[in-house]
Amino acid sequence: MLDVFVDGDACPVKGEVERVADRHGLIVYIVTNGGVRPSANPRIRHVIVTAGADAADDWIAEHIGPFDIAITADIPLASRCLKQQASVIGPAGKKFTEDTIGMALGMRDLHRHLREATGQQTFNPGFTKQDRSRFLGALENEVQSMKRRSAKPVNPEQE
């Protein structure tokens, strides 16, 4: 079964995820350290983890599986989800893949190094209406793709 896992702290697209989940009958796990207003939607499962920098990431990485979708801007978490054969989409609609995650991790480390070396902050661009629209399209496409992949019969000769 296809489930959606949302790294819920500071995620700007929770409403969009909820709409797509309703359209497709999906269960969504919104995982946070707390402070997020719960939804009354019965498809939404709120998971509040204990305090800790990576507690939400750890919960998602331990529960996500093949044919699931993760929504996160956290690049190390995206990498962990990909290793579980899940699909990963950032809030701006960028899909992380095995082919792109190495570069994303490298750029993250470079920016961290530059911040440490210069003492200056690096900034991410603001979240726009186009990002929200791109995310909706990417999530819809990925749900359709995962449904097709999970419905394919397994060929015993390939195992």
What's residue 146's pLDDT?
A: 87
User: Per-residue pLDDT tens for 112-149?
Assistant: 766 677 777 766 678 899 999 999 999 999 999 988 88
Structure tokens at 88: 């990963």
- The whole-angstrom separation of Cα 26 and Cα 57 is 21
Residue 126's Cβ-count burial label (10 Å; 0-12, 13-18, 19+) is exposed
- The whole-angstrom separation of Cα 52 and Cα 65 is 23
Structure tokens at 6: 């949302």
Q: Would you give the distance in Å from CA 58 to the centre of its chain?
A: 13
